[in-house]
Amino acid sequence: MENKHCAARKVTYRIRLYSEAIAVMRSSYRFATIKNFTGALMKLKFKALAIACTLATMSISAHATTEISWWHSMAGALGDRVNGLADEFNKSQTEYKVVPVYKGAYDEAMAAATAAYRAGNAPDILQVFEVGTATMMYSKGAIKPVSEVMKLAGEPFNPAAYVPAIGGYYAAPKGAGLLSLPFNSSTTIMFYNKDMFAKAGLDPNKPPVTWTELAADAAKLKASGAKCSYTTTWQSWVELESFSTWHNVEFASKNNGFDGLDTRLKFNSPLHVKHIQNLANWAKQGLFTYAGRKDEATSKFYSGECGMLTGSSSSYADIAKNSKFKFGIATLPYYNDVPGAPQNTMIGGASLWVMGGKKTEDYKGVAKFFKFLSQPEVQAEWHQETGYLPTTLAAYEITRKSGFYDRNPGTDVAVKQMITKTTDKSRGIRLGNMPQIRTIIDEELENVWTGKITPKQALDTAVERGNLLLERFEKTNK
């Protein structure tokens, strides 16, 4: 459809043309010969033709803008920021228009995109959470790797510019660039209530570094009257997945799924069982409080109920906005008797995938937008405003040099956990049906917290059930 400005110009030209026609005819009737009148009409005809050509050109220009659809899962203030990014890009050029559309939670957006792809009307860009990576990469024809898109459009793109743990997670097999564009990346860290620490006789500037220290601090918090000493969000991600990469041990075989579909779960090792056993013991002692499968624990922390919280680094903005006390940020605790620990924590959040079957012009528009998003200044601003990680090293340096970390102590903790060079065991976890495996883990851990089964029984059962899903995924995608 033509835009309103183009339509308004058409009306203006038509009125002007009509007025000029009347003027010419009046002039010709009063003063001109038949010959002059005919000449005037010819001039008018040529002028009308020129105006018509101009209008046609304007109409073509109005239709030249290519729309790029972007389905995402960012609600509230984050959704406003997503719209802001699209607006900034759209105002920076006239060839393409990015249209963001909120499609619900990550799993809902993925399901909607799958149905849309089958119906032939998938979006150009889809935001997918990190555990959906394997499903996306094995969806033959449904996606086009971001490195291929950038190459097709002739846009510069350097995968090495990304933070190692982030770029490595979204890397294509055999060094073939990146599968998707890192966007809102996060990782696991610890928040603690400095006021509650001081009341318990603890040093508010000295958070626990190891799990042993955390247990000791939790006991002192409880003794000082705290209703909840320690809690966690996303228990599978924090207490098993990121726990594994932080300690440089396998969560699954085949380097956590990166080296093949025939991967199998290994998080029932003695170290994993020991950790869940400790948590179960602390729960019985009133030192650990289970709050729910997702991020329910965050509000328990910023309300002042819980003294320590492990969860996503992206919770920073929410905690800073809602807490009425001084809080600190610390690294995820680790066991200091494990060789190689700490290594690096696991990536969370999501990336942007390019859907397959699109026109070349659409891919060029996507590439232009991704080039815009990849600018260090844009990345740095996104990081500082949202609490998500800077995905590139350049964005981190811009933020550091600006003094942001000095003004906001602890906001660089998550970044420092991730800039370490990764190992095959710490690069991340890339498994098919991972969302469903997380649900299994949640179910089995909840049986531990209620005392129905032992930690070893829970992890053995979760591994057995999860492996059935991996086998199914392997058969489907061979």
Per-residue pLDDT 10s for the chain (478 aa) are 434 344 444 434 444 444 444 343 344 433 333 344 344 444 444 454 454 444 444 444 445 799 999 999 999 889 999 999 999 999 999 999 999 999 999 999 999 999 999 999 999 999 999 999 999 999 989 999 999 999 999 999 999 999 988 999 999 987 789 999 999 999 999 999 999 999 999 999 999 999 999 999 999 999 999 999 999 999 999 999 999 999 999 999 999 999 999 999 999 999 999 999 999 999 999 999 999 999 999 999 999 999 999 999 999 989 999 999 999 999 999 999 999 999 999 999 999 999 999 999 999 999 999 999 999 999 999 999 998 999 999 999 999 999 999 999 999 999 999 988 899 999 999 999 999 999 999 999 999 999 999 999 999 999 999 999 999 999 999 8
Alpha-carbon dihedral angle through residues 453, 471, 345, 216, given to the nearest 10 degrees: 10
- Output the CA angle 401-146-476, nearest 5 degrees: 130
Q: What is the pLDDT of residue 63?
A: 55
The two tokens of residue 22 are 């009347």
Pair type for strands 347-354 and 125-129: antiparallel
Q: What is the 3-state secondary structure (H, E, C) of 145-213?
A: CHHHHHHHHCCCCCHHHECHHHHHHCECHHHCCECCEEEEEEEEEEEEEHHHHHHCCCCCCCCCCEHHH
- CA 180, CA 135: separation in Å to the nearest integer? 13
Residue 461 neighbours by CB distance under 10 Å: 17
DSSP character for 331?
P
Q: What is the pLDDT of residue 64?
A: 72
Determine the distance from the C-alpha atom of residue 140 to the mean position of all C-alpha atoms in its chain, rounded to a whole number.
Answer: 22
Alpha carbon separation from 22 to 38, 40, 269 (Å, rounded): 14, 11, 92
For residue 126, the cross-strand partners are 71, 353
CA atoms within 13 A on the CB side of 393: 12
Q: What is the pLDDT of residue 350?
A: 98
- CA 45, CA 40: separation in Å to the nearest integer? 9
Q: What is the pLDDT of residue 176?
A: 82
Q: What is the pLDDT of residue 229?
A: 99
The two tokens of residue 271 are 């170290």
Instruction: Show Cβ contacts of residue 388 under 8 Å, excluding neighbours closer than 6 positions.
Output: 184, 185, 186, 313, 314, 349, 382
Cα end-to-end span (Å), the chain: 45
Residue 442 neighbours by CB distance under 10 Å: 17
What is the enclosing helix (H) or strand (E) of 441? helix 434-449
